[in-house]
Amino acid sequence: MIDLKPLTIGPILGYVTDRSARIFGRGEYVPSPHILPVNLGVQSYQLFESSWGAARFREKGSSEFNLPQFFKLNPNADMSGVVTFENLKPDTHYEYEIGWFIGETEPEIGVSINWSGAIKQHFKSGTNNGQEPRSFVYGACRYMQRLAPGIWRYGEDGDKTFGTILKQIEDGLAIDALLMVGDQIYADDNFTEVTDQDLTVERYFDRYRNTFGQPAIRQLMGQVPTYMTLDDHEILDNWPKDAGDRQWTLIYPAAIQAYETYQLSHSPLFASPDIDEEERHTGEWGYCRLWYQFQDGCCDFFALDCRTERELGDTPETRAMLGSRQMEALKKWLCDGSGRIKFVITSVPFFPDKLSGGGLDQDKWGGFLKQRTELLDLIFERDLKRVVFLAGDVACGMSAEVYCPEKPDFKVVSVISSGLFWPFTHRAAKHFQMNGKLATLSSHQYELVHCGPVVSIDHFTRINANLDGLIVEMFSSTGRPCGRKIHEF
């Protein structure tokens, strides 16, 4: 008999399609009585017991679960793993149970399992209708401060927003996805006090465990498909500005290992079982990257990596936010002719520009004019429609549009939602260029219109999307409506 224990972190419901669902779960490090033999030529390191996750699912209303699935919990991934449920039906409600146990080998089929300790959750599979309207919630910047080992500040305060989102779901406002677009953790608090000995992956794992272990966010991520991308605080403030050898050799590898474990392992970055075997080993699947694409109903999403591929040249022509391969993939995706809404998830705002020191903030897209111009000119020249940029980062919320007098039907939409929890000063309209000509290197003139109003409190954003347009609604951390705009296509 296997007695399952409840997960210590998770479950996190990640990439969901009409046929499959990915779920992340973490167990716990359990010290092993064994040590590495001295004759291996290495010093003695603590070993840990081999552990497994177990999960099963059933269609809601069914009396029988599918056969249990087992997945290895990896000590290099903070004793976590990912299980994939396959052969789902579209638009169908499912229940699932998930837990973990200690075991040397994967159990045989038919082994007796006690599921009483497992976590019980539910989800809905995706639609197979490529024009189906979607409703999703998104935001960024959930601050939580580590004061000392095991002592954290702003845990319950920061979890309030996610509790409010859960309350909306309970009240009948369905959510098809949750997007978290950067600064899910703040790994760089108290950084000046950190020694090289502290710069291990455990420092980053510890932040994820405490942030993702809060009750409301845990409950929310266990039942709503959750998609994430990183910003600077997953690594270090304003990364990679001022990064030297110490930062690249000690900080970056640890930060990315933890990011891949907690944010990417359950994402669409890895080919789903729906992708045929030949495609899984060709094209974009064949090399290391942190950006990814997915589709849900009438919405196509491209989650950018706006941090780890930057080139910080001395002139606008030599500065790049995206690597060449990512940029080409983005352009190809924009031009694929799907007819759906193209949501570009960019951790830093595409526009309006944040002001800094009498000019544009060089950390945002206003500091990378060559590539911003390339994208706007591509949209202009190919007459692309329904392009929307989703951003966080700047501790406020708003939406805006760019148009071009040369082509009256040209329109690009930008939405910013930052401050899921930010206990410091929020930014206001005075911190941004809210009208006039958008800075580019283009021969075309792109004008800012319909900017604001700016929401300068903790909030989250709900976007109701269909092929005719968007309804953008912003809510305070307690659920009070604080902004609503319609953007027609």
Q: What is the pLDDT of residues 325-371, one digit of tens each?
A: 999 999 999 999 999 999 999 999 999 999 998 889 999 999 999 99
Average of per-residue pLDDT across 405-415: 97
Superfamily of 1-128 according to CATH: Purple acid phosphatase-like, N-terminal (2.60.40.380)
Task: Say what the pLDDT of residue 193 is.
Answer: 58
Work out the pLDDT band at 153, boundaries 50, 70, 90. Answer: confident
Domains in the chain: boundaries: 1-128, 129-488
Q: What confidence score (pLDDT) does residue 197 get?
A: 61
Torsion (CA) 211, 214, 220, 221 in degrees, nearest 10: 40
User: Which is more confidently placed, 9 or 148?
Assistant: 9
Decide if 441 contacts 316 (C-beta within 8 A). Answer: yes
Q: What percent of the chain has pLDDT over 70?
A: 91
Q: Decide if 222 contacts 242 (C-beta within 8 A).
A: no
Mean pLDDT of 123-144: 97
Right CATH for 129-488 from 3.90.380.10, 1.25.40.80, 3.60.21.70, 3.40.50.720: 3.60.21.70
Do residues 270 and 20 make contact, with C-beta atoms less than 8 angstroms apart?
no
Q: Which of 332, 286, 288, 335 lies closest to 309 in space, CA to CA?
A: 288
Q: What pLDDT shows up at residue 37? A: 62
User: How would residue 137 be classed by pLDDT, with cut points 50, 70 and 90?
Assistant: very high
pLDDT tens-place string over residues 290-315: 999 999 999 999 999 999 999 999 89
Mean pLDDT of 209-230: 98
pTM of the model: 0.94
Which one, of 271, 131, 157, lies nearest residue 217 by Cα?
157
129/90 Cα distance (integer angstroms):
9
pLDDT band at 274 (very low <50, low <70, confident <90, very high): low
Tell how strand 469-476 and strand 459-466 pair up. Answer: antiparallel
Q: What is the mean pLDDT of residues 134-148?
A: 90
Round the average pLDDT of the chain to a whole number and report it. 92
DSSP annotation of 28 reads: -
Share of the chain above pLDDT 90, in %: 81
